[in-house]
Amino acid sequence: MSNQVINFFKFSSPQAFYPLAGKMVPWFAALAAILGITALYIGFFIAPTDAQQGEGYRIIFVHVGVSWMSMLIYVVMAMWAAIGLGFNTRLSNMMASALAPTGAMFAFLSLCTGALWGKPMWGTWWVWDARLTSELILFFLYIGFIALQSAIDDPRRADKAGAVLAIVGVINVPIIYFSVQWWNTLHQGSSVSLTKSPSMAATMLLGMLLMALCFWMYSIAVALKRLRVIILERERHTAWVAALPEVKS
Amino acid sequence: MNWNSPAEFFAMGGYALYVWGSFGACAVLLALEPLLLKMRRTTVITEIKREIAARTQNETQN
């Protein structure tokens, strides 16, 4: 038991996690590539044409995945920020900072693909509807987190300020998720529900889930890659960084 | 199979702009992010190398 605890905490130091993260990145990247290719194949060649929306519905394969990731990454980011704030663990704070730009990118893509879907189906790129507005706020929360952290020179204070913002902002995630139930919106209801049987063709659902999984693996790979860069940036004056092969050569 | 010809595939039933716009935006950003990260990593490694070189130079001078 005690042995396991020691092994677990070993990797909470940036020095120990840096090489481990480096080993994990290619695996997650490869998984993302395989899942992405499979999902694209299913999405374009196997999933049938939609009865109502024709071929336009195929935007769903990216739109749902990027939207899910934008929310999931925010929750994970806030969780790491909270752990960092509570236990003062450097690596957790770095993890939160590493996730923010990827989350912001997914929130941006969610808004973009949503606009591209809204134009042909609703006749407008944008409406100030509950779902769309709360997703826009999520994008601003990511931008706010990044801007706040980069505005504070001392990394420890930047971590704390960012963590508070991230934790407070979590309230927005259930608002986005339930917005289609709580308010009358133009946005359609949830594509996937845990309580109801799926309302779409099995191949459509499969393509969508595989694409979401691809984005998930991509996010892990990119976040770990960014974490390694952040570790290097923050630990640049330490002896272990100076001894790294990539720095020595 | 949904498509009888490549042209039909690229036309996306008249939704080409929207479908390819969405997939294109995702593809561009998902490819750009790792590239930017690679640049950021190269920058920090170059800086660290320079700092170490400056430090060792100082030590040999003193």
A222 pLDDT band (50/70/90 cuts)?
very high
A199: closest CA among A208, A8, B61, A124? A208
Residue A86 has pLDDT above 60, yes or no: yes
Per-residue model confidence as pLDDT tens digits over A17-31: 999 999 999 999 999
d(CA A8, CA A96): 19
Q: Which two tokens stand for residue B35?
A: 């590239």
Structural contact between residues A61 and A214, judged by C-beta atoms closer than 8 angstroms: no
Q: What is the 3-state secondary structure (H, E, C) of chain A?
A: CHHHHHHHHHCCCHHHHHHHHHHHHHHHHHHHHHHHHHHHHHHHHHCCCECCCEHHHHHHHHHHHHHHHHHHHHHHHHHHHHHHHHHCCHHHHHHHHHHHHHHHHHHHHHHHHHHHHHHHHHCCCCCCCHHHHHHHHHHHHHHHHHHHHHHCCCHHHHHHHHHHHHHHHCCHHHHHHHHHHHCCCCCCCCCCCCCCCCCCCHHHHHHHHHHHHHHHHHHHHHHHHHHHHHHHHHCCCCHHHHCCHHHHC
Show the tokens assigned to A36: 């992405």
pLDDT at A195: 64
Please check whether residue A67 is in contact with residue A191, taking contact to mean a CB–CB distance below 8 angstroms. no
Which residues on chain B are in Cβ contact (under 8 Å) with A113? 22, 25-26
B48 is written with which tokens? Answer: 């660290």
User: Out of B14, B19, B47, whose CB is closest to A58?
Assistant: B19
Domain definitions of chain A by residue range: 54-248
The more confidently predicted of residues A145 and B62 is: A145
- Asked if residue A101 has pLDDT above 80, the reply is yes
Which pLDDT band holds residue A102 (cuts at 50, 70, 90)?
very high
Alpha-carbon distance of A182 to B10, in angstroms, equals: 38
Across the A:B interface, residue pairs with CB atoms under 8 Å apart total: 89
Identify which of B13, B37, B52 has the shortest CB distance to residue A229: B37
Q: What is the DSSP letter of B1?
A: -
pLDDT values of chain B reduced to their tens digit, one per residue, 62 residues: 678 888 888 888 889 999 999 999 999 999 999 999 999 999 999 999 999 999 888 888 76
Average pLDDT over residues A138-161: 96
DSSP tag of B2: -
Q: Does A232 reach chain B within 8 Å, measured CB to CB?
A: yes
The answer, yes or no, to whether residue A2 has pLDDT greater than 60, is: no
Cα A163 to Cα A148: distance, rounded to the nearest angstrom: 10
Measured between beta carbons, which residues in chain B are less than 8 angstroms from residue A233?
44
State the pLDDT at residue A217.
97
Whether the pLDDT of residue A198 is over 90: the answer is: no
HSE-up (13 A, CA, CB side) for residue A17: 23
Q: Quote ipTM for the complex.
A: 0.90
Instruction: Report CB contact under 8 Å: A112, B14.
Output: no
Residue ranges per structural domain of chain B: 8-61
* Nearest CA-CA partner of A160 in A142, A145, A140, A171: A145
Contact predicate A159/A84, CB 8 Å: yes
Over residues A33-55, the pLDDT tens digits come to 999 999 999 999 998 888 888 88
Confidence at residue A44, expressed as pLDDT on a 0 to 100 scale: 92
pLDDT recorded at residue A183: 83
3-state helix, strand, coil split of chain B in percent (to 5) is 90, 0, 10
Mean pLDDT of chain A: 91
Query: Which region holds residue A47: left if phi is over 0, alpha if psi is between -120 and 50, else beta?
Result: beta
